[in-house]
Amino acid sequence: MEATTLIESFRVDGKVAVVTGAGSGIGRASALALAGAGAAVVCADIDGASATAAAQEIAAAGGVAEGVTLDVSNRGEVDALAQRVAAERGGIHVWCNIAGIMVEGPFLDAPEEDLDRIISVNLKGVFFGCQAAGRIMVTQPEGGSIINASSAAADAPSPNIVSYAICKAGVVQMTKSLAVEIGKKKVRVNAVAPGFVLTGMTGRYFVRPDGTVDEEMQEAVIAPMRKFTPLRSIGEPEDIAAAFLYLASDASRFMTGQVLRPNGGVAMV
């Protein structure tokens, strides 16, 4: 590949991308990154207002986007969105399964309802997204790219998040198994396993109900994360969006079944 062509291959002009969890944090940053690099982006989130806000920000910057309400744990909703987007926009080239929730607590007391809830979003939600996108992508001559959010929690165990960790480990195995199954149809399936990133999910430890930040609590949460991370820093959503953009683009055309780990070095697998 020529050098200029190589640089251009990191762009995603002309691609249609669906991003779940696009209303907040890593999903939002990924939607903005994809749109900035040329994709038409469908921003989907259970919080439709935040998805619409992300789409409006993209449009204000000159990009193409729409915001939709989507519960990834509802298979019918996921299928319907995929069908509609493919019909209206002429296909789906990139599907990012980023929506997720956290459930914490001691394993020995974990209620079954909590387990069902996290599996329905973090595992079944990714399964439904892969299935809906995969069914469309295998019919396209150009195939497509599916990218799933895993977590460093699948690589480096921590206490009190067993159900979260098993979902994220399941996402890795789903990614690899599906990559083998549909690779011959030019559909690539990869995962991104971020380290600690400041987002709505992690900010809830120190953001007060009125939206202000308890800075002392914030430092108490972040300081140990920094200490045990080789790069001595925590991530920003854009650090993770860069991995999603790379895996969405043709620059990663020879990668499938892989896990990218933007995690500051906290887990090396």
Task: Give the shortest CB-42-to-ligand NAP separation in angstroms.
Answer: 13
b/e code 38-58 from CB counts within 10 Å (16+ = b):
bbbbbbbbbbeebbbbbbebb
Residue 220: which H helix or E strand, with range?
A: helix 215-227
Question: Minimum Å distance from CB 222 to ligand NAP?
Answer: 11
> What are residue 95's DSSP bridge partners?
18, 146
100 within 8 A of 40, measured Cβ to Cβ: no
> Between residues 19 and 250, which has the closer beta carbon with respect to ligand NAP?
19
Where on the chain is the footprint of ligand NAP (CB under 6 A)? 20-21, 23-27, 45-47, 50, 70-73, 98-101, 121, 125, 149, 151-152, 194, 196-197, 199-202
Cβ distance to ligand NAP smaller for residue 117 or 186: 117
Query: Where is 29: in which H helix or E strand?
Result: helix 25-36
Residue of 164, 196, 206, 244 marked active site: 164
The answer to whether residue 205 is catalytic is no
Select 85 or 250, whichever has its Cβ closest to ligand NAP: 85
Rounded least distance, CB 88 to ligand NAP, Å:
20
With tokens 């640089």, the residue in question is 7
Indicate the residue among 167 and 187 with the shorter CB distance to ligand NAP: 167
Where on the phi/psi map is residue 264: left (φ > 0), alpha (ψ -120 to 50), or beta? left
Minimum distance between the CB of residue 7 and ligand NAP, rounded to whole angstroms? 28
Instruction: Compute φ and ψ for 189, nearest 5 degrees.
Output: -135, 120
Cα–Cα distance for residue pair 33/19, rounded to 1 Å: 11
Nearer to ligand NAP, 149 or 260 (CB): 149
DSSP 143-167: -EEEEEE--GGGTS--TT-HHHHHH
For residues 9 and 3, give the distance between their C-alpha atoms in angstroms, rounded to a whole number: 10
- Residue 133 C-beta: closest distance to ligand NAP, Å: 15
The nearer residue to ligand NAP, 31 or 250, going by C-beta atoms, is 31
**264 Cβ partners below 8 Å, 6+ apart?**
195, 196, 229, 230, 231, 232, 233, 234, 235
Calpha distance 104→30 (Å, rounded): 25
Q: Please, what is the minimum distance in Å from the beta carbon of residue 236 to ligand NAP?
A: 10
Q: Which residues are catalytic?
A: 164
